[in-house]
Structure 1
């Protein structure tokens, strides 16, 4: 029987590995990226833009994670294979599509199908327009970069400290 989770060590009677200063520092950085930076920057970005932009930009997290893993050498990209080309094409389409949707602020994309723009600027409680689209989108994109770093650091920390 295979036990999974935090109780596996207790139920199987195994000893936890020692928690060194290096491992504790990695866990601290992991917590810093995962909850602190990601959520605070995300909510700051929402103050400048709409939830529609936040949802559109959330689609870049898998692509950003893939790019960071390739840059850090955790993922090997074989560009000559069909699988490698599909990864690159998917990454470009994902990031490009999210950014086009986020920064599209003009006329209608399909005038016959919709009666209003895809993205509307939201008005706050006091009637002030929260219009700093670029700043809000960049803050949300920064928060998603922090979340992607958290996902990658989880793999690194779990190799060092398996508990």
Structure 2
């Protein structure tokens, strides 16, 4: 996963550009949009919006002909319906799972809520493009752990440069951030996020983006539950319906893809069955 023998013999200009784009999109831009959107909405909404990624990945893969699309095939229609259910569930949660207003406090600013949802949508678009580019990069750089370490380091440097450019200084951003908070962020980033990202990249190389996206709706449920327990958020009944749409749509797509692989000719089966192969295969 990180052995030197898996490194490319030389870093071409194309590979360097891909590493920079992955770092800029997957670390700096994605985190900035996601955190700003979460601040203006809620963790449950941020988690729900991430479930749009499988739908966008399916659309992009179909446009680039990495995904089999035949409107005459019932499995293609099932994938389209499943994608729409997934999108509808995420949108339902985004609209209806608004934070409850405690007594004595004014209602959330609608404009800020809309801006937050737009930021989250932009983050999902960036994430979808990053996942597809990451799958392509892993073909030339089949070392997931090393790739994650390099993109994280480059992303940290780019994020620091972005802060200096926008604020004129490099610091925690506010004096209210204590040493304990910084240590907590380091702990979360090093032991939680980094491990999660590395193993997701490893699964991405072995099984492809579809299997990675299979488990993404579970974080929506977990985020909503923990938000209710620790942040006092109210889980609306309509949000539960949105969760059902999310799970139903995503699993409908996966069911259709698995069935689709059994009806394809052997020559096309390698391309279609990306549950067992990466999305972008070397041609």
TM-score (norm 1): 0.74
Higher relative contact order (CA 8 A, sep 6+): 1
Rounded to whole Å, the distance in 2 between the matches of 1:139 and 1:81 is 36
State how far apart, in whole Å, the 1-side matches of 2:7 and 2:56 are.
36
Q: Is 2:121 aligned against 1:141? A: yes
* Aligned 8 A contact 2:8 2:140 in 1: no
Q: Structure 1 residue 79: deviation in Å? A: 2.1
Deviation at 1:74, TM superposition (A): 2.4
Q: Which residue is equivalent to 1:71? A: 63
What RMSD in Å do the two structures reach over aligned CA positions?
Answer: 2.3
How many residue pairs get matched?
139
Instruction: After TM superposition, list the pairs within 5 Å mapping 1:64-143 onto structure 2.
Output: 64-104=56-96, 118-121=97-100, 130-131=108-109, 132-143=112-123
Counterpart-to-counterpart distance in 1, 2:117 and 2:30: 14
Unpaired segments ≥5 residues, structure 2: 144-283
What CA deviation, in whole Å up to 9, does each residue of 1:85-142 have, x standing for no partner?
11101100100121122123xxxxxxxxxxxxx432567xxx6765321110110111
The CA deviation string for residues 38-86 of structure 1, in whole angstroms up to 9 with x for no partner, is 1111001112111221122122121121112222332231222122111
TM, length-normalised to structure 2: 0.45
1-side partners of 2:48 and 2:8: how far apart?
Answer: 41
Deviations along 1:10-54, one digit per CA (max 9) or x if unpaired, are xxxx77321111211111111111111111110011121112211
Residue pair 1:50, 1:122 contacting (<8 A) in 2 also: no
- Against the structure 1 CA distance between its residues 130 and 35, is the aligned structure 2 distance closer, same or farther, given a 3 Å change threshold? farther
Flag as ranges the 4+ runs of structure 1 deviating above 6 A.
Answer: none
